[in-house]
Amino acid sequence: MHLIWENLIKNLILLWMGEFKGLDEGTGCYVLDKSVWEAIGKVTAMSGSTIPSVYGPRVPNMSMDRSNMSVEMWSFWTLYLGPVLLQWRFKDIKYFKHFVCLVALLNLCLQFEISMAEIRLVHDGFISWVKEYERLYYQYDPACISTCAVTIHALLHITDSIEAMGPVWCYWAFPMEQYCGKLQPSIRSHRFPYRSLDRFVLESAQLTQLQTLYKLHDELALRPPRRGNILGSFQSESYPTCILLPPRSPIRPDEKLLSTSVSPALKTRFTHVDLKVIHKHLKAAFVEEWGTIRCVDSEEGSTMCASSMYKHGEDHRDPTFIQYQMLVDKFANQRQHVEELELVMFYGHLEHIIYIHFPPSTDADAHIILTVIHNVVVDESLQELHQLDIHFSSCKGKLDVIDITSVQCLIGRVFDGDCCALIDHSGSLAHAIHVDDGDNIGDE
C-alpha cells in the first residue's frame, strides 16, 4: 500500500505539478499548468455526489486539500478518477498512456485471484513500465537521478511477493492496518502490552471457530448484522437474494407505464401467452412501487434506489445508476436468422422498482419484481479506457424493463466537461449467469 499510494502516486503527481525536488521537466513536457490542476481538483471533489458511498469516502479537492487525502482516497483516485481526469490533459499523450498502463497493472495485482499467466504479465509489464518511466522522467540525466527512487525499483519485485505469498490483498497494508486498528483497543496494560495482545488474538480466534463450527455468526456478532428484518421491508421467497425497502408508494403505479412497458416485458417472460391475456392478468394483479432494493446475498450487497422515489439531499451520494445484464439476440437485425441469445452488459438509470403479485387463479409466478431502467448509451468511439472497464456515455436511450435478478451493482459517474465516465468497481463477480427456468403463465 505505502509503496504505491503513499510514494509512487504522490511522486508522479509532484512531477506533473512541477514540484518534485526542485526538478524541471528537462526535455519532456509532462508538467501541467496550475489551472489544469485546479480544474482536476474541482471535478474530483464534485464527483463525490455522483459516486455511491459504497465506493468509499468522498475525495477532496486534491489541488487545495492534499493533506487530508487518506491512502484509500489516493487509491480510489488512481484507479478510477485519475484515468478520466488526466485524459487529454497532457501535451503529449505518451505520459497519459504510461499512467494508464500503470493502472492496468495495479488492477491485475488487486484481483481476488491471479493466475500464473497473469503474474508473468504483471512481471513483464512492470519491467516495461519502469524502463519507460526512466525514459520519460529520468531522461538518462544524472541531474534527474532523484526521480529513480527505491520505490520505482521495488515495483520489479511485486510479482516475487505474489508468487511467494499469494494475491496482494492477503498482506498489503489495507487489511494489515485494519487489523492493527482492531488490536489497539485490546491493550489494557501498558506494562504488559503483549499479554493483552496475545489474549485478544487467542480469544478472537476461538470466537471465530465457534461461529464457523456452529453457524453462530449472527448470535456471536459484536455488532448487529446488516441482513435481517428491517421495519417496513419485504422479501419474497422467489427472490432470496434481495429485499425491498421503504419508501413504498401507497398508490398503484401509472397504468400507462404498466400497459406500455411492463406488459411487453412480461410477454418476453411468458412467450406463449397472448399480450391481451397478460394485460388482463396484470389489471387483476396486486401491483405496487417500492423505492429501494438491497442485495442480501452477501454483507457487501449494494443498496439501489429508484429515482422516482429518491430524495436528493444536499450531501447525497447518487445510488440510482446501475449496471445490469440482458439476453440479446445476436442476429436481431436479420429476420431470417435463427435466434441466438447472449448476455450483454448495460448501464442505466434505475427509475422504478415494481412488485407484482398475480392472483391465485393464474399459473404465473406468485411474485415478480421488475425494474424500469432508462438505458445509458455507451459511446463506442471512446475506447481509450476500455481496458480499465471505464466507459463513456453519450446520451440516454430506451426504457428497459427487466427482472431484478438481472441488476448487478451500483456504478459511479464522473463528469468532465461534456463527457460522462461510467466507473464500475465490481469486476467479474458482478456478472450474471443465465439459467433457463421455463416460466409459464395460464392462458385463457
pTM of the model: 0.81
Q: How many alpha carbons lie under 13 Å from residue 281 in its C-beta half-sphere? A: 28
Q: How many CA atoms lie within 13 A of 170 on its CB side?
A: 10
Report yes or no: 354 and 404 within 8 Å, Cβ to Cβ.
no
| Residue 206, pLDDT score | 93
Longest dimension (CA), the chain: 86
Measure the CA–CA gap between 133 and 152, rounded to whole angstroms. 9
The answer for residues whose C-beta is within 8 angstroms of residue 24's C-beta and 6 or more apart is: 18, 31
- Looking at residue 235, what DSSP letter applies? -
How many whole angstroms from its chain centre is CA 60? 19
User: Quick one: pLDDT at residue 199?
Assistant: 92
Q: In a 3-state reduction of DSSP, which class is residue 24?
A: coil
State how far the Cα of 138 lies from the Cα of 208, in Å rounded to an integer: 50
Residue 38 neighbours by CB distance under 10 Å: 13
User: How is the chain split into domains, by residue range?
Assistant: 1-173, 176-214, 234-424
Task: Find all residues with CB under 8 Å of 220, minimum gap 6, and list them.
Answer: 207, 210, 211
Q: Please name which of 377, 431, 376, 421 lies closest in space to residue 44, comparing C-alpha atoms.
A: 421
Give me the pLDDT at residue 434, please. Answer: 42
Q: Is the dihedral of CA 129, 132, 138, 140 positive or negative?
A: positive
How would you class 225 by CB atoms within 10 Å of its CB: exposed for 0-12, middle for 13-18, buried for 19 or more? exposed
pLDDT in tens, the chain (444 residues): 678 888 999 999 999 999 999 899 989 999 999 999 999 999 999 999 999 998 888 999 988 888 888 888 999 999 999 999 999 899 999 999 999 999 999 999 988 889 999 999 999 999 999 999 999 999 999 999 999 999 999 999 999 999 998 888 777 766 666 777 788 888 888 888 899 999 999 998 999 999 899 988 878 777 766 555 678 888 888 888 889 999 999 999 999 999 999 999 998 888 888 889 888 888 889 999 999 999 876 555 689 999 999 888 778 899 999 999 988 888 777 777 787 888 889 999 999 999 999 887 776 667 899 999 999 988 877 777 888 889 998 778 889 999 999 998 899 999 987 789 999 887 654 444 444 444 444 444
CA angle 276–278–283, rounded 5-degree value: 100
Cα separation, 167 vs 434, whole angstroms = 29
Q: Positive or negative CA dihedral for 204, 207, 212, 218?
A: negative
Cβ–Cβ under 8 Å, residues 108 and 94 = no
Taking the C-alpha atoms of residue 284 and residue 386, their distance in angstroms, rounded to an integer, is: 46
pLDDT value at position 438?
44
Backbone angles phi, psi at 30, to 5 degrees: -105, -10
